[in-house]
């Protein structure tokens, strides 16, 4: 998959390692502001310092700012994720416009360890998820590493070349992001809300059926992203689609549920057979048309 030198989204919140360390440290600006507040306004310096810290922390989590001490590998991961997110923005903005709506893109939170979301606390490596309450996609980048190493998802087999190794399975990773953004689309269009209401009125088996359809539709939406992005950027390389299909098959429920120890229910990828998932991805990919993605009929 080709992804370098394209627009990188500003909607990425990097909350990995470095961010937390920075928040706990002493900020010079905070101290200066606190001193000025104490000297000239009679404000308790400790209170003033804490207030500026709160603002600084809020700003760094609001804006797409990255922690300072990232390794080259971590930096590349955020560039990659930001590029794919930008690709989804450039895909869905015109589609929503055609429907007479304005697309409000989700924010994407990169984290390691534990993260607090609008849907509860999430543990690292339990898999990516979308939280409708705060409209954010949460991704622990070690999940991508796991995808490559433990599950053997690698688009490139050549492990001797570092650059190749970094690119291994990149389209499968992009597909995971596009699938999560698919859940955001469902949220914006009111589909997930309707399904949630419907679920309350039917049996558990029927309710699970509805969840299956929701998952398959997110796959179809990921297919639309692949279609539109290919038209716009010709980003696909030989074997990319097969790679994503391979990933869809391998990211099974046992893998993710084994890791689901936090409060958040991760995107399980459980529902629907791999054949159904491939079929709906292909439907979106071949048509590029949102009207073809009615998995509920």
Contact footprint for Zn ion (CB under 5 A): 215, 218, 267
CB of 189 to Zn ion, least distance (A): 15
Residue 191: CB minimum distance to Zn ion, A: 13
The least CB distance from residue 271 to Zn ion, in Å, is: 8
Strands of the 107-111 sheet, one edge to the other? 12-15, 107-111, 136-140, 129-131
Alpha carbon distance 83, 62 (integer Å):
19
Nearest approach in angstroms of CB 74 to Zn ion is 25
The nearest distance, CB 12 to Zn ion, in angstroms, is 20
Task: Indicate the residue among 140 and 215 with the shorter CB distance to Zn ion.
Answer: 215
The nearest distance, CB 167 to Zn ion, in angstroms, is 24
Q: Which of 190, 192, 181 is nearest to 220 (CA)?
A: 181
Q: 124-154 burial, b for 16+ CB within 10 Å, e for fewer?
A: bbbbbbbbbeeebbbbbbbbbebbbeebebb
By beta-carbon proximity to Zn ion, the closer residue of 37 and 256 is 256
Nearer to Zn ion, 246 or 267 (CB): 267
Between 56 and 211, CB nearer to Zn ion: 211
Provide the Cα torsion 117, 196, 106, 53; round to 10°: -20
**Among all residues, whose Cβ is closest to Zn ion?**
267
Question: What CA–CA distances, in Å, run from 246 to 94, 130, 154, 172, 229?
Answer: 30, 22, 9, 8, 20
Query: CB-hemisphere CA count at 13 Å for 178?
Result: 31
Closest Cα to residue 167, out of 51, 17, 1?
1
State the residue for tokens 């309450």.
133
What is the nearest approach in angstroms of Zn ion to the Cβ of residue 30?
40
Question: CB-wise, 90 or 215, nearer to Zn ion?
Answer: 215
User: In terms of CB distance, is 6 or 271 closer to Zn ion?
Assistant: 271
CB closer to Zn ion out of 53 and 283? 283
Dihedral angle computed from the Cα positions of residues 294, 232, 84 and 263, in that order, rounded to the nearest 10 degrees: -10
Q: How far is CA 72 from CA 15, 54, 75, 146, 174, in A?
A: 16, 29, 5, 19, 19
């Amino acid at each position: 998959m080709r992804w370098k030198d394209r627009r990188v989204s500003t909607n990425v919140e990097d909350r990995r390692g470095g961010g937390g360390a920075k928040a706990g440290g002493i900020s010079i600006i905070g101290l200066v502001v606190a001193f000025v507040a104490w000297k000239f306004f009679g404000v308790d310096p400790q209170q003033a310092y804490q207030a500026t810290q709160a603002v600084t922390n809020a700003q760094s989590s609001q804006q797409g700012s990255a922690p300072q001490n990232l390794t080259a590998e971590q930096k590349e991961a955020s560039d990659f994720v930001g590029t794919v997110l930008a690709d989804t923005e450039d895909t869905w903005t015109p589609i929503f416009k055609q429907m007479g709506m304005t697309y409000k893109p989700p924010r994407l939170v990169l984290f390691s360890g534990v993260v607090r979301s609008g849907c509860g606390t999430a543990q690292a490596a339990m898999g990516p998820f979308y939280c409708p309450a705060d409209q954010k996609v949460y991704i622990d980048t070690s999940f991508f590493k796991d995808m490559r190493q433990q599950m053997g998802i690698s688009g490139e087999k050549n492990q001797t070349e570092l650059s190749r190794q970094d690119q291994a399975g990149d389209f499968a990773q992009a597909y995971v992001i596009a699938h999560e953004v698919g859940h955001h689309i469902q949220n914006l269009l009111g589909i997930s809300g309707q399904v949630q209401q419907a679920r309350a009125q039917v049996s558990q088996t029927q309710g699970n059926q509805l969840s299956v359809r929701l998952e398959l539709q997110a796959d179809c939406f990921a297919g639309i992203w692949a279609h539109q992005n290919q038209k716009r950027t010709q980003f696909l390389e030989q074997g990319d689609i097969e790679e994503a299909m391979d990933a869809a098959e391998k990211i099974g429920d046992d893998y993710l549920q084994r890791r689901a120890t936090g409060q958040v229910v991760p995107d399980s990828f459980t529902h629907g057979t791999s054949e159904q998932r491939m079929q709906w991805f292909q439907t979106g990919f071949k048509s590029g048309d949102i009207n073809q993605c009615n998995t509920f009929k």
